[in-house]
Amino acid sequence: MNYKRLLILIRKEFILIRRDPGALIAIIIFPLITLALYAYAIELKPKNLSTALLLNDYSLQTQQFLTAIENTQYFKIKYIVRNESEAEDLMRKSKIKVFIKIPNNFTSDLLKGIRPEILVVADSLDQPAIISQAVSSLEQLKQLLYTDIRANINKPSESLFNIVIHNKYNPEFKTETFLIPGVIVFIVMLMVMQLMINVSFRDRDAGTYEFLQITPIQPEENLVSLIVSYVMLGMLWVTMAICLSLILFDLKITGSILGLFVSLTLYVMAETMLGLLIAEYSKTMLEGNEYSKTPIMIYIVFSGFFYPTDSMPSWAKIISECLPMSHQLRITKGIFGKGESFIDILPELLPIVIFIIIITWLFKMHIRK
């Protein structure tokens, strides 16, 4: 081996890299940005879980209990509800993760040593292990409160009150109930995005676009045909995945089937357009594949599939709300496990439609240039 020639070849490669700033950004800058986002956004410890409270007894003791709950930083009371049905509606719409009910005569029963019961309902369909960890911390509060208020109790006991925990939507903590709907959403995103990047460069390298310029076919017609074809292909895969999930994992669709397929069609279209946009801004297929890793990593962190969004800082929650995968995850899990209707998912469909409009506009602007 001639080491002098080897050094010349290495120098040649760095010259080529320097001449291609897009590849340099994809290889170095984007991974560093993603690393920084991971470091500041990921929080494995449950924190600030959205909580609704039904308070039927107002006293110093209940206030001490609520203060102790918020001091754990596991829970953040966002809603004060008037009845259980209102709290159930909030949980079904994924606006809360935990519901706490303090019953009537809680204080009087506590002071008499009767040991009243506090009801805690947890949404175990989304991040069940993390939600369970937070709810279990409530048991530790009993011992802390015992020291503060036992002097006022006629017959103090080791347990001042009982905490009754109900795990809703996934009471048996089945992994497939929580995981499979999210996996379907995640895999279809990977598939259609990478497929569109590869197809775009296939047509570009084969001279398809140049050939279309000498035919009566308009660019918009070619674009629409491309999108429709691969949205149909993506939906074929989605349908097969859902059918296999129902058969192999004994899952049940408890909500609107129409809503599920309408939302997934819009979601596949959004990821198809994103793949086209990445390909349009890339000079080579390698560069396009490198560019695509950044949105994939952002989806992993901010969508709520792997990490709870409630525990993220405010700026990370804003990013999460801008991602179509975040909304599609809530729609899919809600229809599979919570019985959501088509009307229930409409607020989650709107951000996906807005995402499609923005990506389509960016794509058209770049084509014009």
CATH at 153: 3.40.1710.10
Q: pLDDT higher for 213 or 245?
A: 245
**Could you give the percent of the chain with pLDDT greater than 70?**
80
Q: 211 and 82 in one domain?
A: no
Mean pLDDT of 355-362: 92
Residue 104 sits at the vertex; the CA angle it makes with 102 and 108, to the nearest 5 degrees, is 100
Q: Are residues 211 and 257 in the same domain?
A: yes
Boundary residue ending a domain (117, 136, 168): 168
* Rounded Cα–Cα distance for residues 299 and 318 (Å): 13
Maximum Cα interatomic distance, the chain, rounded to a whole number of Å: 93
Q: Between these two residues, 212 and 322, which has the higher pLDDT value?
A: 322
Residues 160 and 269 in one domain: no
270 and 161 within one domain: no
Q: How far does Cα 363 stand from its chain's mean position? A: 25
Token pair of 140 as six digits: 């530790």
Helix (H, G, I), strand (E, B) or coil at 121: strand
184 and 311 share a domain? yes
Rounded Cα gap, residues 190 and 216, in angstroms: 34
Query: Are 58 and 189 part of one and the same domain?
Result: no
Residues 245 and 145 in one domain: no
118 lies in which domain range?
49-168
Q: Compute the distance between CA of residue 342 and CA of residue 181 in angstroms, rounded to an integer.
A: 17
Q: Is residue 42 part of a domain?
A: no
Q: Is the pLDDT assigned to residue 239 strictly greater than 70?
A: yes
For residues 161 and 188, membership in a common domain is answered with: no
- The answer to the question of residue 202 being in a domain is yes
- Spacing of C-alpha 95 from chain mean position: 13
User: Of 102, 135, 168, which residue sits at a domain end?
Assistant: 168
pTM: 0.81
CA distance 258 to 335: 10
Burial degree of 181 (CB within 10 A; 0-12, 13-18, 19+): buried
Say whether both 153 and 184 belong to one domain: no
Mean pLDDT, the chain, rounded, equals 81
Please indicate, yes or no, whether residues 282 and 332 belong to a single structural domain of this protein.
yes
Per-residue pLDDT, 23: 63
Instruction: Indicate if 288 and 162 belong to the same structural domain.
Output: no
Number of domains in the chain: 2
Q: Is 24 helix (H, G, I), strand (E, B) or coil?
A: helix
Would 20 be classed as within a structural domain? no
Q: What is the pLDDT of residue 325?
A: 94
Query: Could you tell me the strand order of the sheet in which 162-168 lies?
Result: 75-80, 49-55, 98-102, 117-123, 162-168
Q: Are 338 and 95 in contact (CB under 8 A)?
A: no
Task: Judge if 317 and 208 occupy the same domain.
Answer: yes
